[in-house]
Amino acid sequence: MGGSRMYGSLRGIGAAALMVLALAGCSGVPPQFKDNPMGDLPTFGALPSETATDKGKRYYRDGDYGLAETSFRKAVEEDHNNAEAWLGLAASYDRLKRFDLADRAYDVVIKLVGYTPTVLNNLGYHQLLRGDREAAKKDLVAAHNGDPQNPFIRNNLLLMQDPDHAPDPWEGVVAPR
């Protein structure tokens, strides 16, 4: 009697093991999710990934001008007509004191969008940084005539009159948004 009980227990364990193995094969997980739990299905409602221009703006706002320059450069390599990225690249070069490269970037911005008040403001500040106060005044006055309520332009005009006006020497550059 003891032997049949033992065999019965072993049979029960064997049957349970077979059921577990059988159920493991039928886990109900579609094959596309076996190796990749996220599958290749699109994620609806998700935010788009951050573009190189967006990264450049974020780095610029955070004061990481080298990383901003890298991101804006990548953005203009991806889209040569991205005026916003070119302006951000020029402003980043200004912050890095690479005025020769900033000049080139401003040239492209001007070809793309012309002498807008924002471009003229940044050019005026660029000239201030280079020490050319006459060129800065010309650009800033033209920027002010185009957008008299712009606080960045007004600040740069005040900065030209009184260099101690701005506590941050870079306050006048329009940060890419």
119 and 96: one domain?
A: no
AA letter at 60: Y
Query: What is the b/e burial string over 38-66, where b = at least 16 CB atoms within 10 angstroms of the residue's CB?
Result: eeeeeeeeeeeeebbbebbbebbeeebbe
Tokens standing for 40?
A: 């290749």
Does any domain span residue 5?
Answer: no
Cβ neighbour number for residue 18 with a 10 Å cutoff:
10
Question: Residue 100: which CATH number?
Answer: 1.25.40.10
97 and 85: one domain?
A: yes
Quote the CA–CA distance of 139 and 154 in Å, as a whole number.
12
DSSP 99: H
Cβ neighbour number for residue 109 with a 10 Å cutoff:
25
Tokens standing for 108?
A: 């492209």
Looking at 95, 113, 131, the residue that finishes a domain is 113
Quote the CA–CA distance of 121 and 26 in Å, as a whole number.
67
- Residue 92 phi/psi, 5° resolution? -65, -45
Tokens standing for 104?
A: 């080139």
Does any domain span residue 71?
Answer: yes
Does any domain span residue 11?
Answer: no
109 and 133: one domain?
A: no
Total structural domains within the chain: 2
161 and 123: one domain?
A: yes
Quote the CA–CA distance of 28 and 34 in Å, as a whole number.
10
Does any domain span residue 45?
Answer: no
Query: Could you read off the pLDDT tens digit of each residue along the chain, which spans 177 residues?
Result: 555 555 555 565 555 544 544 444 545 555 554 555 445 555 555 556 889 999 999 999 999 999 999 999 999 999 999 999 999 999 999 999 999 999 999 999 999 999 999 999 999 999 998 989 999 999 999 999 999 999 999 999 988 887 766 545 445 455 454
Q: Name the residue among 133, 69, 134 with its Cα closest to residue 102.
A: 69
Range list of H helices, 96-116: 99-113
Cβ neighbour number for residue 156 with a 10 Å cutoff:
28
Position 161 scores a pLDDT of: 82
Does any domain span residue 175?
Answer: no
61 and 103: one domain?
A: yes
Position 21 scores a pLDDT of: 47
Q: What is the domain extent for residue 107?
A: 50-113
Does any domain span residue 158?
Answer: yes
Position 49 scores a pLDDT of: 83
Phi-psi region of 51 (alpha: psi -120 to 50; beta: other; left: phi over 0): beta
Distances, alpha carbon 174 to alpha carbons 59, 77, 101, 118, 155, in Å: 14, 22, 18, 7, 11
59 and 107: one domain?
A: yes
Looking at 68, 90, 113, the residue that finishes a domain is 113
108 and 122: one domain?
A: no
